[in-house]
Amino acid sequence: MSIIYMKSMYSNGRVELQEVISRNTRYCLNSAFCQGYYRKIIVVNKMLFVLLLSVVVFLINTPYSYAYSTTQLTNNSYNDSIPHISGNGHVVWESWDGSDNEIFLYDGSSTIQLTDNANDDYNPRINAVGDVVWSGNDGFDDEIFLYNGSITIQLTNNSNDDYDPQINSFGEVAWTGFDGSDDEIFFYDGSSTTQLTNNSVYDGYPRINVNGSIVWYGNDGSDEEIFYYDGTSTLQLTSNSNDDNYPEINDYEEIVWVGNDGADDEIFFNDEYGTIQITSNSYDDYDPQINKYGEITWVGNDGSDDEIFFYNGASTTQLTDNFFDDYDPQINSDGDVVWYGIESLVNKIFHYNGSSTSQLDLGGVPQINGNQQIVWSVTDGSDTEIYIATPSCSQPARIDDGPPVYYDTLQGTYDNSLTDDTLEIQDYEFYEDLTFDLNKSLTLDAGYDCDYTANTTTTSLYGDLTISNGTLTIQSGTLELK
């Protein structure tokens, strides 16, 4: 058996998978990222991948325009707020229950109340597989709690406040905690907790990626700087006389933050090649967000009001140009951006799909996942409720054999296929393990749009791919293994 730890693409135009040339050999395609997060492809015996490479075509993300259907997730007489959405469409939020704030989880079909106590629980975050972390008061101070899909674990138990927890897809958590003298950064690796900072100045705003790398900003005695923990040691990324803060990090160790250049706040970006300044103007730029491809969105003032900007790795586009303020942009892996704008005192949600912008609904502070699902909160006239918008698409996978047969999972599509069938899958993020163990020959077309008319983008599989039998021809599109 050979195991490949990888972040890789299969496509008709780009192949980044090294050939397995011997048994019981481990490969990592990029040593900079060989930190254990890469999912496995387990190749057993004689499963054959046939990659059609007669024409070399380097694929790019092509925007699709989706129609949306909206569902109201809550309907009560209390405020529901701060929703966050996972890759598989699960949503977590905080809500007043009549006496204090509690945490609620929508699992795709029903709503579960995760907390029910006499103290406030707030600021929930959810990861790709549905684990939830939040801050909750234990009667004395704020502590960190983790719901792992079945039980709730109290990660901290001390006499000081712990807050602002962030979680990655492996259930690793970073947060800010008071140590008796100042705020420090803490890290839970799934089994134990490590205090990453121990000094006499403030450290806060931790952000964690899938590798367990963490960024935050901390005071160096004179101003705020950016710090980066790579799983082993801590590096100070900035050292100047101006404040640098509010960093974000993606899974490729690319980091973006807000830094003052001596006159106003600008956007900065760091990767393995060093640091560059993305913006340089006489107005404030702030609230940067970055996706896994290094695309960045942020809020910037254009001299009259706050607008939304987008950087694609090479150039910057101003997404909005109006006479009202736009705030809180969020970006997904496809480069779709959502935000809200305040027009005539009314909050409105907008969606940029890579080519054009449309107004989705009324509401504020939207979140978007890689499957184009969007959540937000908005008042229903008496209190705020939670809504989710889902693309009105066919199911994300199908067998194209006469009348197509549709499925929600890749495994279900494979299991129900017959030899010589063609499997067609959408530009979608699948969260599952996939096993190819049947003696049949199949063709795969990946990266389809909503109605299966074109396939020029990427299908992503977050899980283990075990291969033991048969033949699979990847004919077109791109299959990305995470």
| H or E element in which residue 481 lies | strand 478-481
Give strand pairing partners of 201: none
The predicted pLDDT at position 15 comes to: 29
- pLDDT (0 to 100) of residue 334: 87
Distance CA 239, CA 259 (A): 11
Q: Is 68 exposed, middle or buried (0-12, 13-18, 19+ CB in 10 A)?
A: middle
How far apart are the C-alpha atoms of 325 and 183, rounded to whole Å?
Answer: 33
Return d(Cα 145, Cα 155) in angstroms, integer. 6
Q: Per-residue confidence at 2, pLDDT binned at 50, 70, 90?
A: very low
Can you tell me the mean pLDDT for 4-11? 35
pLDDT of amino acid 380: 87
**Average pLDDT for residues 166-190, to the nearest whole number?**
96
| Model pTM score | 0.80
Per-residue pLDDT, averaged over 332-360, amounts to 92
Q: How confident is the model at residue 31 (pLDDT cuts 50, 70, 90)?
A: very low
> For residue 65, what pLDDT band results from cuts at 50, 70 and 90?
low
pLDDT digits (tens, 9 = 90+) for 77-119: 999 999 999 998 999 999 999 999 999 999 999 999 999 999 9
List, in order, residues 6 or more apart from 138 with CB less than 8 Å away.
Answer: 119, 154, 157
Query: Does the pLDDT value for residue 162 go beyond 50?
Result: yes
Torsions phi, psi for 32 (to 5 deg): -65, -20
pLDDT computed for residue 297 by the predictor = 98
First to last CA, the chain: 20
| Mean pLDDT, residues 9-33 | 31
pLDDT score of 457 more than 60: yes
Mean pLDDT, rounded, of the chain: 86
Residue 11 has pLDDT above 50, yes or no: no
Distance of CA 270 to the CA centre of its chain: 19
SS3 content of the chain, % helix, strand, coil (to 5): 0, 50, 50
Q: CB-side exposure of 38: number of CA atoms within 13 Å?
A: 23
Q: Which helix (H) or strand (E) holds 478?
A: strand 478-481
Three-state secondary structure string covering 229-273: ECCCCEEECCCCCCCEEEEEECCCCCEEEEEECCCCEEEEEEECC
pLDDT value at 64 more than 80 = no
Going from the C-alpha of 215 to that of each of 122, 381, 412, the distances in angstroms are 22, 40, 39
For the cut 60, the answer to whether the pLDDT of residue 5 exceeds it is no
Confidence band for 229, pLDDT divided at 50, 70 and 90: very high
CA-closest candidate to residue 427, choices 451, 448, 441: 448
Listing DSSP states for 97-122 in one string gives -SSSEEEEEE-SS-EEE---SSS-EE
pLDDT, tens digit, 9 for 90 and up, residues 354-412: 888 989 888 989 999 998 999 999 998 899 999 999 987 768 999 987 788 999 899 99
Task: Compute the average pLDDT of residues 124-131.
Answer: 94
pLDDT of residue 104: 98
What pLDDT, on a 0 to 100 scale, did the predictor assign at position 12?
38
pLDDT score of 21 more than 90: no
Give whole-number Cα distances, 180 to 141, 158, 198, in Å.
13, 10, 11
Give the pLDDT score at 32.
35
In this structure, are strands 48-51 and 471-476 parallel, antiparallel, or unpaired?
A: parallel
- When pLDDT is averaged across residues 230-249 and rounded to a whole number, the result is 97
Q: For residue 227, is pLDDT > 60?
A: yes
User: What's the rounded mean pLDDT across residues 329-356?
Assistant: 93
Domain residue spans in the chain?
2-59+422-481
Neighbours of 190 (CB within 10 A): 11
- Asked if pLDDT for residue 57 goes beyond 80, the answer is no
Reply yes or no on whether the pLDDT at 190 is more than 90.
Answer: yes
The residue written with tokens 């909503």 in the block is 450
CA dihedral 297, 428, 74, 78 (to 10 degrees): -30
C-alpha torsion sign, points 387, 392, 394, 396: negative
SS (H, E, C) 159-226: CCCEEEEEECCCCCEEEEEECCCCEEEEEECCCCEEECCCCCCCEEEEEECCCCCEEEEEECCCCEEE
